[in-house]
Amino acid sequence: MSLFAAVEMAPRDPILGLNEQFNADTNPGKVNLGVGVYYDENGKLPLLKCVAQAEAALQADPKARGYLPIDGIAAYDKAVQGLVFGADSAILAAKRVATVQAIGGTGGLKIGADFLKRLNPNALVLISDPSWENHRALFTNAGFKVDAYPYYDAAKRGINFDGMLTALNAAQAGTIVVLHACCHNPTGYDLTPAQWDQIVATVKARGLVPFLDMAYQGFGEGIAQDGAVIQQFVASGLDFFVSTSFSKSFSLYGERVGGLSVVCATAEETAKVLSQLKIVIRTNYSNPPTHGAQVVANVLSTPALRALWEEELAGMRLRIRAMRVALVEALQKAGVTQDLSFVTRQKGMFSYSGLSAEQMQRLRSEFGVYGVDSGRICVAALNEKNLPVVAAAMAAVMK
């Protein structure tokens, strides 16, 4: 009997499976809206100018690649803190935030999950229903039992806020609650500041542990606006976690640039927490890679590059918004009469289109338009060329 005879085949990643199906499709007009990346108006993954300039400067003065400290480049961690909490934040001045460089936003979540497992091994983790598909697997693999709180309300084309609040109110103290800071993936529906106030109050009253996942800062309303929920949690005085990803906001997907910040009650606790985060990192991959984080640190701390980044980020955000408006207009022109205002209310890269799995399958088989069976489409993959194809196909299955 061989060592691996009993190993079972793991289920295929549903989104990667969709990509394979797309690649095999011979329809010349096919469009892939199943992806989770931003494409520019030409349907290309952009290389941001601020990134190219920072890389050119690094190349002009090449450096040897020594090991980084376990928690990453100090200037990078500082830049992450500035973005997430605001550069003049009182809790930063009070040294109440432990921040480490991480391998993408996923890495930030995983470091946080591993640390929490040591701290509170029997805690339940609550994620939104639905959520980014890796949340459940990541926390399950970190050893937690994972449940979901209500979030999407299909009939309302919005959020089941009462259901969410009721679930959080019923949760036991110590329950870890994963919250999407902005641009909820996959639905695109975000809480209002007033709703966030209620969530913060409930989390505080029930003694829950908030874990904010911020993978799209700057893709919704703007850098500060998208980070506003962080200020609400800071004001509450709670201890909390924030994972950061620059995959989308810098179009640096493959460089795996992210972070984890843990807000603590005192500088002393922060130092202890940081020491534990470093053990998690050390025993997993020792220390993080150099290039992507150096690029991001240089862009964020060089005023001209920072200004260029903010401009390019705004360009991506506004283009997505313009595509939402254009999609609604094209669908209405094609004779769709139902209220489509939800499409422009949604934030970030994705839209829960409200289409059924059957309608999504028809989009693929009859029109070569690929989205996820949940009805999720990537608005950031729309452009002026493919939009008429997509709108015609959607209109056909919606009528």
Catalytic residue list: 132, 213, 248
Exposure on the CB side of residue 374, measured as CA atoms within 13 A: 21
CB of 146 to ligand PMP, least distance (A): 15
Determine if 217 is a binding residue for ligand PMP (CB under 6 A). no
Report the interhelical angle of 49-60 vs 303-333 (nearest 10°). Answer: 150
CB-nearer residue toward ligand PMP: 36 or 72? 36
The closest residue (CB) to ligand PMP is: 104
Determine if 245 is a binding residue for ligand PMP (CB under 6 A). yes
Phi, psi for residue 160 in degrees, rounded to 5: -85, 75
Give how far Cα 69 sits from Cα of 77, 289, 323, Å.
11, 10, 42
Residues 106-145 close enough to bind ligand PMP by CB under 6 A: 106, 132
- Cα(184)–Cα(182) distance, rounded to whole angstroms? 6
Determine if 215 is a binding residue for ligand PMP (CB under 6 A). yes
Determine if 258 is a binding residue for ligand PMP (CB under 6 A). yes
Q: Which stretch binds ligand PMP (CB under 6 A): 100-108, 227-235, 278-286, 300-308?
A: 100-108
CB-nearer residue toward ligand PMP: 202 or 251? 251
Instruction: Tell me the sheet residues that pair with 180.
Output: 213
CB-nearer residue toward ligand PMP: 152 or 367? 152
Residues 26-45 close enough to bind ligand PMP by CB under 6 A: 36
Determine if 104 is a binding residue for ligand PMP (CB under 6 A). yes
H-helix segments, 210-301: 223-226, 228-236, 267-284, 291-301
One symbol per residue from 288 to 327: x for binding ligand PMP (CB under 6 A), - otherwise; what is it?
A: ----------------------------------------
Exposure on the CB side of residue 192, measured as CA atoms within 13 A: 7
Determine if 374 is a binding residue for ligand PMP (CB under 6 A). no
CB-nearer residue toward ligand PMP: 37 or 392? 37
Q: Two tokens at 365?
A: 């088989």
Report the interhelical angle of 193-206 vs 161-170 (nearest 10°). Answer: 10
Contact 305, 50 (CB under 8 A): yes
Contact 51, 295 (CB under 8 A): yes
CB of 348 to ligand PMP, least distance (A): 9
Determine if 351 is a binding residue for ligand PMP (CB under 6 A). no
Report the interhelical angle of 291-301 vs 74-85 (nearest 10°). Answer: 60
- Cα(395)–Cα(334) distance, rounded to whole angstroms? 6
Q: Two tokens at 31?
A: 């469009």
* Residue from 18, 32, 51, 105 in contact with ligand PMP (CB under 6 A): 105
Q: Which stretch binds ligand PMP (CB under 6 A): 99-107, 190-198, 262-270, 371-379?
A: 99-107
Contacting positions for ligand PMP (CB under 6 A): 36, 104-106, 132, 180, 185, 213, 215, 245, 247, 258
